[in-house]
Structure 1
Amino acid sequence: MKALFIGGTGIISSAITKQLSESGCELYVLNRGRRNESLPANVKVIQADINDEAHVAALIEDLSFDVVADFIAFQPAQLERDYRLFAGKTKQFMFISSASAYQKPLSDYRVTESTPLANPYWEYSRNKIACEEYLIKQYREHQFPITIVRPSHTYDERSIPLGVHGRKGSWQVAKRMLENKPVIIHGDGTSLWTMTKNSDFAKGFIGLMGNIHAIGESVHITSDESVTWNQIYEAIADALGVKLRAVHVSSAFLAACSQEDYTGGLIGDKANSVVFDNAKLKRLVPDFVATTRFDQGIKQTVQHILAHPEYQVEDPEFDQWCDKVIHALDTAVAAVKG
């Protein structure tokens, strides 16, 4: 198989790239070269900015692919560019959308690919929906061979997956745990969520590559494991070897008092209970199974981060914001009690 990844070094794509490199796939990645030191030696790099369409067109003029996958498209205009570049040059075009595009609030907590797409809370999700609609139009009218993939919360060894964290990443929450400081969990922590290790996601994705039954289809790829946010944070604290001091805060309150988009990221996504039905993926990829339980995967992530200081990026502004939110709640309780 001959494949081209636009991106190739992110949380999701890095695991796919690694597994494909071990399978004999002729893999190209097209990116600006900022993190390519982690790429396997046998991956071929096309160093370019995908937004420089004329330059990219010249670089791939004599190339064609079995699969092209865009991991970094977020706007319909970017898919329009991809269509101009790759129509007639690939047997399958794979777009990484998002499971956050599914309707919010959900009419049924069980999510299948037929769950409607509608998210009034998050512009990111609405843009992904618009991207999907554009690609479906090209498939119907021009037979552009698309496959739409919807990840949910996928994590790797470089970042701890959380519900509430600052702009600079999730390390500050881990640091608060290590310092025995209280940690914010949105809602009451009992809503169901799904965490998927990127190596498990990669198995499903690779099974869809070159799969004739996946053409024209939309498929989500997630673990079958459901965990509450309380369990998620407890597992992280356990991996750090500390006791969790949880403070539960309404998602609406967090959205109202933060400069970050918690309306989108929480109310439009993580505050909802979701259980993904992966039956469609398993029909298309019969041997797919996510084998990494969250409490096991997060231990690998935490160990890796503790061993690599470059991933321990502090966020003092977020730390101060957490203290202010918790103080405000304590003050409110004291005022009500009189």
Structure 2
Amino acid sequence: MKVLVLGGTGAMGVHLVRDLADAGHNVHVTSRSRNGRKGSINFIQGNAHDLSFLNHILSEHWDGIVDFMVYSTEQFKARNEQLLKSTSHYLYLSSSRVYANSDVPLTENSPRLLDTCNDHTYLATDEYALTKARQEDILFNSPYKNWTIIRPYITYDTERLQLGVLEKEDWLYRTLHGRSVVLAKEILTAQTTMTSGRDVAKAMAALLGNVSAQGEAFHITTDENICWQQVANIYKETLQAQGIELNIVEQNTADFLAWRTGKYQVIYDRLYDRIFDNSKIKRFVDTSDFVFPANGLKECMNEFLSSKLYSFKVPNWQEEALKDRITKQSTALKEIAGSKQKIKYLLFKTLPAVARILTK
């Protein structure tokens, strides 16, 4: 197959691209920074959010398109028809965050937040879970049925190691610099499901080009659920073996949300128990072969630590200052690049109320 992968550089995409190439498919990947060929993978340099660039590459027909891009609902309305017309099979990456809370294991037909939530303030937003559900509806209502909706939940890889609502930039960066991590204690008791990006990619590759998967939604997760406290313990033990201490300062949810951005991800996802019924995807892949989270998380953490050249996105220095204020710790100013960011850190560390007014 000739396959186009849009935005395939994350925890799932890098593995899917490699799997498809290893299987002998002709794989093309859009990238803002890379061009040319690497082995059997072709890179097309450009911004896939740019409609003119996208329309150019969609002027030819693709056997499969895998779409990892994050769109606003209006952006997706503007391009979904062209995407569907340009391929025999379109894989759209949604999220299992679309599901409402459930006391029983989630199936693909479980109620979604968009359809059941009564929080009108939340529904007025284009928050991630709502955006994905609205874009799913565009596909559900489309006259084209050559699509498959993929709903992964929390995926992990060497470069993506989450703890509750915290990305590695929020917790691992602080840990490696000897500072405490701040997290809502109620999150730690919630059950979650964490799946290796390699395993999600394996299932996606099994779905791509399969006619019986078209017009359907599939969540792709491991069969194993785990509570966030267990995840924290796995990280803690793995780090301790390297002589590194992970210390978590627990807050109640109200106090945590008083300073933390992204409150809806906490309220409408991380505080829920997320357990999945994988009967549907088992028709295409054996999920019992997926790596256990305890083993996979430890392996990825050790791989990350072994590099010694730790890769982190730039921390949010406003939030870092607030965390330091809570934990009564300090960040060395030499860690912070740029005088403006240093000033922002110092303001939020010492005078958070004033800093919020000045940065509005």
Q: Same fold (TM over 0.5)?
A: yes
Given that 1:252 and 1:267 are in contact with CA atoms closer than 8 Å, whether structure 2 keeps it comes out as no
Correspondence 1:92 to 2:89: yes
Runs of 4 or more, structure 1, over 4 Å off, are 119-122, 178-181
Counterpart amino acid of 2:282? K
Partners of 2:66 and 2:91 within 8 A in 1 = yes
CA contact (8 A) 1:187 1:271 kept: no
Q: Is the 8 A contact 2:96 2:151 kept in 1?
A: yes
Which residue identity is paired with 1:131?
A: Q
Size of the aligned set, in residue pairs, is 313
For residues 18-167 of structure 1, the aligned pairs below 5 Å read 18-33=18-33, 40-61=38-59, 63-103=60-100, 106-118=101-113, 120=119, 121=122, 123-138=127-142, 142-165=143-166
The answer to whether residue 218 in structure 2 is matched with residue 223 in structure 1 is: no
Structure with the larger RCO, 1 or 2 (CA within 8 Å, 6+ apart) = 1
AA partner of residue 49 (structure 2): N
Q: CA deviation at 1:16?
A: 0.7
CA distance in 1, matches of 2:248, 2:319: 16
Change (3 A) 1:72 1:301: same
Rounded to whole Å, the distance in 1 between the matches of 2:182 and 2:104 is 24
Q: Which runs of 5+ in 2 are unaligned?
A: 329-360
Residue 150 of structure 1 deviates from its aligned partner by 0.6
1:159 CA drift (Å): 2.6
SS at match of 1:158: coil
Other-structure match for 1:257? 259
In the TM superposition, what whole-angstrom CA distance separates every residue of 1:272-301 from its partner, at most 9, and x where no partner exists? 111011111102x14344522222222232
Q: Specify every segment of 5 or more residues in structure 1 that has no aligned partner in the other structure, as ranges.
A: 328-338
| Structure 1 residue identity aligned to 2:21 | S
Output one character per residue of 1:25-81: Cα deviation in whole Å (capped at 9) or x when no partner: 1111123235x79x85211222222233234323442x2122111111332333334
CA contact (8 A) 2:203 2:285 kept: no
Give the letter for the 2:137 counterpart. E
1:198 to partner: Cα distance: 0.3
Q: Deviations over 1:60-109 (max 9, x none)?
A: 42x21221111113323333343343343211111101111111xx1424
AA in 2 matched with 1:226: N
1:273 aligns with 2:273: yes
Report percent identity of matched pairs: 27
For 1:60 and 1:135, how far apart are their aligned partners in 2? 18
Structure 2 SS opposite 1:311? coil
Note the aligned Cα RMSD (angstroms): 2.5
What is the rounded CA distance, in whole Å, between the counterparts of 2:90 and 2:211 in structure 1? Answer: 12
| Shift in alpha-carbon separation, 1:80–1:313, aligned structure 2, 3 A | closer
State the 1:14 CA deviation. 1.1
Q: Is the 8 Å Cα contact of residues 28 and 46 (structure 1) preserved in structure 2?
A: yes
User: Within 2, Cα distance between the matches of 1:211 and 1:10?
Assistant: 24
Q: Identify if the C-alpha distance between structure 1 residues 159 and 308 changes in structure 2 by more than 3 Å, giving closer, same or farther.
A: farther
Amino acid at match of 1:297: G
- Answer yes or no: is the 8 Å Cα contact 1:113–1:220 preserved in 2: yes
Please state how far the C-alpha of 1:310 moved relative to its aligned partner: 4.4
Partner Cα separation in structure 1 for residue 276 and residue 247 of structure 2:
29
